[in-house]
Structure 1
Amino acid sequence: MSFSIEGKTAIITGAATGIGHAIARHFVDEGANVVFSDMNEKRLKSGCDDLADLPNCRLFAGDLREKLNVANLLSTALDAFDRVDILINATRSFAVTDPLDPTDTSVETLLDHNLNVALRTSQAVARRMILQAEQEDTKPQVAGAIINISSIAAHRTQPELLGFSISNAALEQMTRSLAVSLAPQAIRVNAIAVGSLMSGTLRDTIAEHPEYREAIIAGTPLHRIGTASEVAELAQFLASSASAFMTGQIVTLDGGRSVLDTVQRPAH
């Protein structure tokens, strides 16, 4: 059993900041060739300024809602490293939804950002992984690994998060469907459903509402807030041969928050 991803080539979307950035940097440190992709070119270059001269790093700025940019992203990886072994769909957009406002377009927007981008990118990369496997002398045990970053919001009911919850639930169903569809080609597809992580967005929220931090901790059995580096380490496991017999799974990383019933029986 090996957790090594050294020499593998990974495309990581949403890599300018947050979870995507943490995963991409971790993969670079572990010896993988990494294409950092993000739609915000300025933020991407700023966050990766110290990586620009590394031979195992490339940057790609483009809006993956446009099909041409998906093709250009794949070409960037192939031009630099000749192949793609790992795709991590970490592009994540968040917005509050008014569930009773028919003019609110956040559901459509979040489905486009959080689901459709991952689907189109997965389809393009999977076709390349299949081609690479066909060119091998013997059929590989694993031809590629696709990992989607989801949220426990997919399984929790918060009306103001309608669009975010729906898009993540759809992403998890996409994960299962693609896992079955791509299994004959030895491509594994899994997802990581994350709880509250200490990110820039959460820091801003806590700065404005300090009580929110205590509420999260109180609702998390492990009594702390997670880190993006913990997601990166789990992503490495799912990308490595250590998880070679694992596909179609939604792995939850939330400190136990999603299994806690917050309505407790009264004490006797």
Structure 2
Amino acid sequence: MSLAITGKTAIITGAAHGIGLAIARHFIDRGAHVMCADIDEAKLNAEFGDEARNDGPVRIFAGDLCQKLTVNNLLSATVDAYDRIDILINSARAFAPCDPLEPIQDVLEDMLRQNMMGALRLSQMTAKRMISLAEKENRTTGEVGTIINVSTLAAQRAQPELLAYSIACAAQDQATRSLAVALAPYRIRVNGVSFASVMSASLQAALKENGDWREAIVAGTPMGRIAPPSELAETVQYLASSGAGFVTGQVIQVDGGRSVIDPIAVPVY
């Protein structure tokens, strides 16, 4: 089974922080051409600015990917740099708690817009670009592209204080399955990676304010630890590689077994 991604072109959103940053670094280290996208331009420059100044495997793109024009500009910048798009990884996420007994319209709309609608639009527009490039190059066999969505266990667990966030994560997982079926005839695979007990940027920030949560998370995770985001990146690489060539429509749990039991009353970040 080949897990190679050398020479492939990947767009990775949320690449300036946490899990997105870990995935971007992982793909760069394994020889992929990576367009690192994030709304945080300062952090993008701090992480990748020196590398992106060369005509090498790294480029950066700053902008609000919930805007259609910005998405078009991202896709054009990627094709201009590398002539193709093989992989899209939607790892940008926004997190906000809410009071489940109060109207949540604003919070829900924001969570859906940032965690589901933005990724869905980017996936649709990227798929169209992948198909167009394949037709232009007369690629009639082989994989045209792959799309990977990063989600969390919140999509499956009822935590009232995360009502809006959980709905958005669940919607993203369903979008993964629906797009997988829609894009299969075009030879584009769509999968998801759902995580828990992984040191995301939001979990790291939460643990600074709630240090006692660490013990609860570790105790409630069968494998007895919180994983670094690099372990999630390994699964993303598998889904992006030819080794997963017959895998589509799946949301893979990367959580140390937490989804099997999950007795923790700690929010899933």
Q: What is the TM-score when the length of structure 1 is the normalising length?
A: 0.94
Report the CA distance shift for 1:50/1:230 in structure 2 as closer, same or farther (over 3 A). Answer: farther
1:133 Cα shift?
2.2
Does 2:19 match 1:37?
no
Shift of 1:105: 1.5
- Give the Cα–Cα distance (whole angstroms) in 1 for the partners of residues 42 and 263 of structure 2: 42
In the other structure, the counterpart of 1:90 is 91
Deviation string 1:125-157 (CA, Å, 9 cap, x unpaired) is 100111122234452221100000000100000
* Cα displacement (A) at 1:37: 0.3
Residue 200 of structure 1: CA displacement? 3.5
Residue deviations 1:7-54 (CA, integer Å, cap 9, x gap): 110001111111111111111111111000001111211122342345
- Greater shift after overlay, 99-108 or 205-214? 99-108
Q: CA deviation at 1:98?
A: 1.2
The one-letter code matched in structure 2 to 1:4 is A
* Worse-matched range after superposition: 43-52 or 1-10: 43-52
Counterpart of 1:180 in structure 2 is 181
Alignment of 1:63 with 2:64, yes or no, is: yes
**What is the correspondence of 1:100-119 to structure 2 with a 5 Å cutoff?**
100-102=101-103, 105-119=106-120
Quick check: 2:87–2:240 contact (8 Å CA) kept in 1?
yes
Is residue 11–residue 88 contact of structure 2 (8 Å, CA) maintained in 1? yes
| Distance 1:104-1:127 versus aligned 2 partners, 3 A rule | closer
- In the other structure, the counterpart of 1:254 is 255
TM-score (norm 2): 0.94
Q: Distance in 1 between matches of 2:62 and 2:211?
A: 35
SS, match of residue 31 in structure 1: coil
In structure 2, relative to structure 1, the CA distance for the partners of 1:229 and 1:261 (3 Å cut) is closer
1:186-226: per-residue Cα shift (whole Å, max 9, x none)? 00000000102223332332232221001001110000001
Written as runs of structure 1 = structure 2, the 5 A alignment for 1:5-24 is 5-24=5-24
Unaligned 5+ runs, structure 2: 265-269
Partner Cα separation in structure 2 for residue 144 and residue 127 of structure 1: 11
1:190 aligned partner, one-letter code: N
Q: Secondary structure at the match of 1:3?
A: coil
Q: Does the residue aligned with 1:105 lie in a helix, a strand or coil?
A: helix
Q: Which residue of 2 aligns with 1:197?
A: 198
Q: Deviations over 1:143-189 (max 9, x none)?
A: 10000000010000000001110001000000000000000000000
Corresponding residue number in structure 2 for 1:266 = none
Q: Which amino acid aligns with 1:130?
A: I
Amino acid at match of 2:206: T
Q: Is the 8 A contact 2:48 2:58 kept in 1?
A: no
Check if 1:231 corresponds to 2:232: yes
What do you get for the CA RMSD once the two structures are aligned?
1.5
Q: How does 1:25-174 map to 2 (within 5 A)?
A: 25-54=25-54, 55-102=56-103, 105-174=106-175
Please tell me whether residue 216 in structure 1 is matched to residue 239 in structure 2: no
Contact 1:17–1:47, Cα closer than 8 Å, also in 2:
no
Q: Deviations along 1:65-92, whole A, 9 cap, x unmatched?
A: 1110000000110110011000000110
Amino acid at match of 2:64: D
Given that 1:15 and 1:21 are in contact with CA atoms closer than 8 Å, whether structure 2 keeps it comes out as yes
Distance 1:52 1:18 in 2: 19
The Cα shift of 1:104 comes to: 5.5
- The CA distance in 2 between the partners of 1:103 and 1:97, in whole Å, is 7
Do the aligned partners of residues 255 and 139 (structure 1) sit closer, same or farther apart at CA in structure 2, a change above 3 Å counting? same
Q: 1:141 to 1:103 in 2, by over 3 A?
A: closer
Unaligned stretches of 5+ in structure 1? 264-268
Letter paired with 1:220: T
Tell me how many residue pairs correspond in the alignment.
263
